[in-house]
Amino acid sequence: MRKKPNAIQRYLGETIGELRKVSWPTRKEAMNLTIIVLIVMVGMSFVLGFLDYIYTSVFSLLLT
């Protein structure tokens, strides 16, 4: 009689099986995507910083 795997063993086995199916990006693709994310992050930081400056200036004028 064969013993059934417990929930943790089954989970780990299924996880390993799914990870084998993943189409992993090449090193070049990963680098390109990382650069895109960094550029978008810096751009959004400038946009949000500018909006924060505008809102601060407007509220400062309204409160004085």
pLDDT tens series, the chain, 64 aa = 567 778 899 999 999 999 999 999 999 999 999 999 999 999 999 999 999 999 999 999 998 8
Q: How far apart are CA 15 and CA 22, in angstroms?
A: 11
Q: What is the pLDDT of residue 1?
A: 58
Q: What is the domain extent for residue 31?
A: 25-64
If you compute the radius of gyration of the chain from its CA atoms, what whole number of angstroms results?
25
- The count of domains in the chain is 1
Whether residue 38 is contained in a domain is answered as: yes
Q: What is the pLDDT of residue 23?
A: 94
Whether residue 7 is contained in a domain is answered as: no
Q: How far apart are CA 27 and CA 46, in angstroms?
A: 29
Asked if 25 and 33 touch (Cβ cutoff 8 Å), the reply is yes
Whether residue 56 is contained in a domain is answered as: yes
Whether residue 13 is contained in a domain is answered as: no
This prediction has a pTM of 0.64
Whether residue 62 is contained in a domain is answered as: yes
DSSP 3-state of 24: coil
